[in-house]
Amino acid sequence: MLVYKSPQTLTSTGEVMTESLQSHYDESHEDYLLLTPGPLTTSPGVRAAMNQDLSTWDCDYNDRVQWIRSALTKLATSASGYTTVLMQGCGTGTVEATIGSVLSEDNRLLIIANGVYGLRIAEIARYLGIKHDVLDCGELGETSPEMVRDRLQSDPFITHVVLVHCETTTGRLNPLPELAQVVKEHQCCLIVDAMSSFGGVPIDVDGLGIDFLISSANKCVQGVPGFGFVVAREEALAVCAGRARSLTLDLYAQWRCMEDNGGKWRFTSPTHTVLAFQQALKELDEEGGISARYQRYRDNHRTLVDGMQALGFKCLLPVESQSPIITSFYTPDHPAFEFKKFYDLLKAKGFVIYPGKVSKAPCFRVGTIGHVFPKDFERLIAAVKDSMYWLSEAPATDSLSSCPEKVITA
């Protein structure tokens, strides 16, 4: 059994400092907090874990890889018959590896999309020449079980279904349990892009009948960029030999290499990212697991929304569709408002946010995941209030779009 020491951080005087998981914003952490859906703000312990060099051929490193694979599988389900495969590269690369390795030439894929990331899967399918249909609900559209059921009933040739759990285009959390039930009723293989939800939102892979769940190191587990991973039902993965449309993105071959060689990757792996991720998994456990992290993210989100609404901002999505991962707000309907200026003012005050990806509504986004806590969002609200420069610039119309009933004074 491997025992790993917790990373240590040195103070400016050279003293060893033990980091507390529960401490909020670290004032010494660079210049600003990343309030984004990943990459995100990481803990001092995760950053310190990367201060070590390891060989990809060494058994110590490969033992860590095996530890990570086992830990991820246990987070996803307590049932047997599942495995986890790590894939170096970006999250989209892992999505492409899965789509390109799982579907045969005779299979047909239904892509459920209500945002940029669902449509990106459709683009992957087009590039790879995979037979597919797209159920595009629109960026602001709900995806209902009835819509999916109707599509599956009308096309008996569909064998696989893929959906994005948390669509960070808007921050929408799609109804995974209800959608999964419909997919299983039609005996289709279910692929879930849980890139921005796994580790931060409870998901029972076996209970939901998920065959392949895809996520990334730099999201809710709170690691750094460098690899993605797939939690797969072994029986579903075992039949994928020879299906891959790429050498380096062959999910089956990567699985067999890790299984047969004690955690070895087929090609060069991001060693420092792996070290950081192992520490991130330990910190997730210390926090109390996924349910505890989910509650912290919800507390972050509630603090953010309450504060922004008090300033007159309005959320893009209804409460019932909103995830605790990232929240979209309408931009102010004021001739003097410029997002770049607002962004720069917040960055100068220690916060980096996201511009909106939504084409149908002017908005910006604020992430609530990572090593951040409610007190950080109290500080953010104060920074937003101080950065509302447009309120002092005439002429002013309604203070904020979609909120004419709110009157904001400088």
170: nearest Cα among 342, 307, 302, 356: 356
Nearest to 353 by CA among 254, 105, 342: 342
Residues 25 and 378 sit within 8 Å (Cβ to Cβ): no
Q: Would you list the DSSP string of 382-398?
A: HHHHHT-GGGGSSS--S
User: Which two structure tokens, joined as six digits, stand for 148?
Assistant: 């999916």
Identify the CA nearest to 224 among candidates 154, 178, 281, 309: 281
Q: What is the DSSP letter of 20?
A: P
Given a contact cutoff of 8 angstroms between Cβ atoms, the answer to whether 308 and 158 are in contact is no
In sequence order, the 6+-apart residues with CB closer than 8 A to the CB of 3 are none
Q: Report yes or no: 286 and 375 within 8 Å, Cβ to Cβ.
A: no
Rounded to 10 degrees, the C-alpha dihedral 134/39/189/264 comes to: 140
Q: In sequence order, what DSSP letters do the residues of 146-179 get, joined into one string?
A: HHHHHHHHH-TT--EEEEESEETTTTEE--HHHH
Distances (CA, A) of 22 to 26, 30, 43, 140, 319: 11, 19, 10, 36, 28
Give the H/E segment covering residue 192.
strand 189-193
Eight-state DSSP code of residue 89: S
User: Was 64 annotated as part of a binding site?
Assistant: no
CA–CA dist 344, 266 (Å, integer): 42
Reduced to 3 states (helix: H, G, I; strand: E, B; else coil), residue 44 is helix
CA angle at 256 for the pair 255 and 261, rounded to the nearest 5°: 105
The single residue listed with the structure tokens 């720069």 is: 344
Binding-site residues sit at: 365
Binding-site residues for substrate sit at: 365
